[in-house]
Chains A and B, each alone.
Chain A
Amino acid sequence: MSEPRFRSDAGSELDFEHIVRDNIAWMLAVAQRILNDRAIAEDAVQLAFTKIHRSLDGFEGRSSLKTWMHRFVVNEALMLLRKQKRKNEQPIDPLLPIFDDNGCRVDDPLIVSETSEDQLQSRQVRDLLNEKIDALPDQYRIVLVLRDIEGMSTSEVAEALDLSEANVKVRLHRARAALKKLLEPMMRGGAL
């Protein structure tokens, strides 16, 4: 039986090895971001490629090849995440904004300074940011990762996590607010 071949985004035919080599790096990065564990991320990528291999004939090119493969690796990583033991997670409430009895904000005002795109993308800022994202409780972290980093839509995240869209939005907003709180020392120091 010959290796399955199918059309790439550019229209040329590719064999499976080509597909693996061209896509494994970003797929590992996606899985690692979701799972926070390199070894389990590699398992997720292996499982994803097995399903991709089986489904190659079903790829109709309605979405880009990368978008199609993205769903496989996200689904496998989420499956493995559900099987992992929950870490000792801190509640998110202490990281959320506080309001007084009149509904007025009581947080200390934070004035953000001008920051260039280059500064936001520096390795140091990215590492610190990843550390803070990893500190969020999983149920919030995962929504933020899929929505704000992986660029999935609210409905796609809702489907992948089996949540309502309203619930995704609530979790996303809380995750962003909590992350802002965790990043405040960096923002006050002008590093972000």
Chain B
Amino acid sequence: MNKSPRSLKRRMHGVMFRFPGMITCNEFEDFILAYLEDELPPVKKRVFELHLRVCRSCRLYLAAYERTLAATKASREDYNELEASVPEDLIAAILAANKG
């Protein structure tokens, strides 16, 4: 039987997360997208934020999730850098195919 401090902490959290008005990490996971898009109804938002306050694992998880999202959004190519790589023969082919 696993009685490491982390597993004991998880078991205690498991009991706590079953209290009224609380959710488990698994349920928290299902709400992340809606929370970040501000689509959670007020009651669910309060429940989500309460979990966030008491669960360090989910706080860290959400921070890494948001960092991933920020990096993804920032990864959009700078189109100016790409202009030089457009082959002239592609432009010529498009113009020839669409004459008149």
Contact = CB atoms under 8 A, between A and B. Distances in A.
Contact of B93 (A46, A103, A169, A184): A46
Interface string A103-120: 111110111100101001
A49 interface: yes
A29 interface: yes
A106 B10 contact: yes
A109 B65 contact: no
Nearest to B6: A106
Contacts of B60: 109-112
Interface in A147-192: 148-150, 169, 172-173, 176-177, 179-180, 183-184, 187, 192
A81 interface: no
Nearest to B55: A105
Nearest to B82: A25
A192 B65 contact: no
Given A17-B95, A29-B82, A148 B73 contact: yes
A20 B95 contact: yes
Interface stretch (A6-14, A86-94, A124-132): A124-132
Contacts, number: 151
B68 to A, nearest CB: 4
Nearest to B7: A100
Contacts of A184: 64
A149 B57 CA distance: 28
A176 B68 contact: yes
B75 A104 contact: no
A104 B95 contact: no
Given A103-B24, A187-B64, A120 B74 contact: yes
Interface of A: 1, 3, 16-17, 20-21, 24-26, 28-29, 33, 42, 45-46, 49-50, 53, 97, 99-107, 109-112, 115, 117, 120-121, 125-126, 129-130, 133, 144, 148-150, 169, 172-173, 176-177, 179-180, 183-184, 187, 192
